[in-house]
Chain A
Amino acid sequence: MTNQTITRASIVKIASDKTGLSKHLSSQMFETMLDMIISELCDEQSVKLSTFGSFIVRRKKQRMGRNPKTGIDAVINARKVISFRPSHILRMHTNISTANSSNNKSKTSRERTVQTRA
């Protein structure tokens, strides 16, 4: 159950059902909304969604790293990344309900991550 992944299709469907807008229009609006958020972040502006959290652009400096597969030293270029700061409300919610479900208790966060990426 916890492995279930939600995609834009299911979000658009629910939004369409609840607002009464057509699927097509809902889907268009959804893409416009995401594009707006993306272009704002590309301009290095932060995006705040109250009760959910905020997206902030951070500049990472160039540093030395290593290819994890080969072990060879490599330069990691300066780059920009998005960091997501969840709101306290969201933190509270994720903590309560996932702590109650014993599904993943035996797994470490690392194992969970590997699993979701696979």
Chain B
Amino acid sequence: MNKSDIISNLARAYTQVSNEVIEKFVNIFVQQLADAMSKGKRVELRGFGAFSVRRRDSRVGRNPRTGAQVEVGQKHVPFFRMGKPLQQRMNAKTH
């Protein structure tokens, strides 16, 4: 499922709202998540999970092709941790 699937599914469920507005709505959602994380903020969506930004310290890595050592600088990466209700729901059916 991708963003356009989400938009068309929402459009089917909310026939009173125009497609343009629904598309805008979904884009705002994604943009809000991205903006918050860009500022290093945490986004918590109860029942789903939490997005945060984690720091990765600098380290010495290797060029996989040549084997040469290279310094990899400190960086910040987006991180998602799934929420407990989702974890439980996902694993309920398998047992």
A interface, CB within 8 angstroms of B: 2-8, 10-11, 14-15, 18-21, 25-26, 29-30, 32-34, 36-38, 40-42, 45-53, 55, 57, 77-84, 86, 89-91, 93-99, 101, 103-104, 107-109, 112-113, 116
Question: Does B53 contact A47, Cβ atoms closer than 8 Å?
Answer: no
Q: DSSP majority for the B interface? A: mixed
Number of interface residues of B (CB under 8 A): 57
CB neighbours of A46 from chain B (8 A): 1
Contact A19:B24 (CB < 8 A) given known A25-B17, A94-B38: yes
B35-50 interface code vs A (CB 8 A; 1 in, 0 out):
0111111111111110
A6-B32, A7-B46 known; 6 other A-B pairs, CB under 8 Å? Answer: A11-B29, A41-B86, A78-B94, A84-B80, A97-B40, A113-B52
Question: Does A91 contact B77, Cβ atoms closer than 8 Å?
Answer: yes
Within 8 A of A (CB), among B68-94: 74-80, 82, 86-87, 89-91, 93-94
Question: Does A49 contact B41, Cβ atoms closer than 8 Å?
Answer: no
A78 → B minimal CB distance (Å): 7
Number of A-B contacts (CB under 8 A): 174
Interchain Cβ contacts under 8 Å between A and B, 7 examples: A7-B43, A36-B6, A48-B3, A79-B94, A82-B90, A94-B53, A108-B55
CB neighbours of B24 from chain A (8 A): 18-19
A81 (CB) vs chain B CBs: closest residue: B82
Contact A29:B30 (CB < 8 A) given known A94-B53, A97-B39: no
CB neighbours of B52 from chain A (8 A): 113, 116
CB neighbours of B76 from chain A (8 A): 94-95, 98-99
